[in-house]
């Protein structure tokens, strides 16, 4: 069975920490959630999440009501500390570890022999060892794994989260987890903690390997999406329907190409590959190029829309979120496209059914917000940026007479349909 944890603190109550704290509490553990955001803490203590995630609210309300989860702004003594804070990337693509370091500094004061410290945040290789050093300096009275190995009295592990926004409450329980300990005792303690709520397999390894595995998973997806985005440009040039090409190629038993879109957003896939590039000393040209291909896609979309529009066109931009059926606008390529079109002087109306107010950077550029029907009525050009359910279900008659650019391939009637080469195309062309 392994060790039993009665009280666990989760440091960082964001997109990963809050669902994890909730699921742990739902398994009967006393959970203390810690966050520096007092407003989020207050909302959580009323049983409400400060962001939308399917099925989170009901479970959160029940564990808060039952007194098994409470949120605070300062850490208190616990048996385990699970750190799930943001690890952004700076302007120059270097990892920014300030939140992880601040979280470690805040728990240092309440640590005691026998405690388990787990880092879940996506981090550059070497971060969990760095934390061990940092904590060792803050608490010279305790033995940490970097200096004492199996003799350490604080246990430390890196256990990356890998849940998909929109499916978090299911994936938290069902997904396999990588458990990367700094010594054997850390691995077995972390395995015991995750076993309280994970039904998937728990796979033990070392801390550095676990850190690399997490980065590799997201870099793999980024490279695959970059491949699809590059294909979409090539197919536009050759006037072939890229979605048909991909669907047909995927009939091959060993081919599985992802989907092109307006670019890659969110706080993970658009960020994490840079951690590899930064640490790879020039050995990651493919991963770096994939990032650049995906980052350049919004401007390509702007160019394609400009080719469809006239100088006075009113353009309806459908969707601002970073992906379908979410209200999450972080690093959204759709917002970049809308902003650039507004800067180019077009009259833009944006439709985002999942948010009530446009981001400031769009309001400042004169972008208007409307519901779907009103936006379509006013516009002569329609750009689909996010494959939200509402847009996929739109009747084709609503788009009659419009010039349409669909970045997600959800409206088959607007895909390229050419069985012959365009007049401008020659086999010898570059
Ligand atoms: N996208 C495409 N084409 C696709 C798939 C995605 O353009 O075929 C775009 C999306 O529209 C979005 C971006 O990529 O802008 C990322 O979306 P996503 O659904 O691929 O991933 P995230 O960022 O929501 O979550 C990822 C997941 N990682 C992997 O699937 C390897 C998730 O499991 C991780 O837990 C999460 O990153 C994370 O936190 O690291």
- pLDDT, one tens digit per residue, over 276-324 is 999 999 999 999 999 999 999 999 999 999 999 998 899 999 999 999 9
Which one from 7, 39, 235, 268 is the annotated catalytic residue? 268
Mutate-to-test residue for ligand 1 from 85, 215, 221, highest number of ligand atoms within 8 A of CB? 221
The answer to whether the CB of 378 is under 6 A from ligand 1 is no
| 159 carries an active-site annotation | no
- pLDDT, one tens digit per residue, over 216-259 is 999 999 999 999 999 999 999 999 999 999 999 999 999 999 99
Domains 7-200 and 217-414 share a fold: yes
pLDDT value of residue 423: 57
Kindly list the domain boundaries of the chain, sorted by start residue: 7-200, 217-414
Closest Cα to atom 9, ligand 1: which residue? 264
Fold category of 217-414 in CATH: Rossmann fold (3.40.50)
Which one from 214, 288, 297, 323 is the annotated catalytic residue? 214
The answer to whether the CB of 264 is under 6 A from ligand 1 is yes
**pTM tops 0.85:** yes
Superfamily designation of domain 7-200: NAD(P)-binding Rossmann-like Domain (3.40.50.720)
C-alpha 222 – ligand 1 centre gap (Å) = 8
In sign, the C-alpha dihedral spanning 196, 201, 205, 210 is negative
| 268 carries an active-site annotation | yes
Closest by CA to 416, choosing from 284, 251, 295, 237, is: 237
Q: Which regions of the chain are under pLDDT 50?
A: 430
The answer to whether the CB of 323 is under 6 A from ligand 1 is yes
């Amino acid at each position: 069975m392994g060790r039993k944890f009665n009280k666990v603190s989760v440091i960082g109550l964001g997109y990963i920490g809050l669902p994890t704290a909730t699921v742990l509490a739902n398994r009967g553990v006393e959970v203390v959630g810690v966050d520096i955001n007092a407003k989020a803490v207050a909302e959580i203590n009323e049983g409400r999440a400060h962001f939308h995630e399917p099925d989170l609210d009901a479970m959160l309300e029940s564990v808060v009501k039952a007194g098994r989860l409470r949120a605070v702004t300062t850490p208190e003594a616990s048996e385990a500390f699970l750190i799930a804070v943001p690890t952004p990337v700076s302007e120059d693509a270097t990892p920014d570890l300030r939140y992880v370091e601040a979280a470690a500094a805040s728990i240092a004061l309440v640590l005691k022999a026998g405690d388990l410290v787990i880092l879940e945040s996506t981090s550059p290789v070497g971060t969990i060892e760095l934390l061990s050093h940092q904590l060792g300096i803050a608490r010279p009275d305790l033995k940490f794994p970097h200096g004492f190995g199996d003799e350490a009295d604080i246990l430390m592990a890196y256990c990356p989260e890998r849940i998909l926004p929109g499916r978090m409450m299911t994936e938290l329980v069902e997904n396999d987890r990588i458990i990367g300990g700094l010594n054997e005792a850390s691995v077995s303690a972390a395995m015991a903690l995750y076993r309280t709520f994970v039904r998937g397999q728990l796979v033990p390894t070392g801390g550095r390997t676990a850190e690399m595995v997490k980065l590799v998973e997201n870099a793999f997806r980024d490279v695959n999406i970059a491949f699809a985005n590059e294909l979409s440009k090539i197919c536009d040039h050759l006037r072939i329907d890229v979605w048909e090409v991909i669907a047909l190629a995927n009939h091959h038993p060993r081919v599985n190409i992802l989907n092109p879109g307006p670019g890659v957003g969110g706080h993970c896939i658009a960020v994490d590959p840079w951690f590899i590039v930064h640490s790879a000393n020039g050995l990651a040209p493919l991963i770096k190029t994939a990032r650049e291909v995906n980052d350049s896609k919004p401007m390509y979309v702007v160019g394609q829309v400009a080719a469809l529009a006239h100088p006075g066109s009113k353009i309806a931009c459908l969707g601002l979120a970073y992906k379908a059926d979410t209200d999450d606008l972080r690093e959204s390529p759709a917002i970049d496209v809308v902003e650039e079109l507004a800067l180019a002087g077009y009259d833009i109306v944006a439709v985002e059914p999942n948010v009530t107010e446009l981001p400031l950077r769009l309001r400042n550029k004169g972008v208007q917000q409307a519901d779907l029907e009103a936006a379509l009525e006013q516009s002569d050009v329609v750009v689909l940026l996010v494959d939200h359910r509402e847009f996929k279900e739109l009747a084709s008659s609503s788009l009659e007479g419009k010039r349409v650019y669909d970045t997600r391939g959800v409206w088959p009637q607007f895909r390229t349909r050419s069985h012959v080469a365009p007049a401008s195309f020659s086999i010898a062309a570059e």
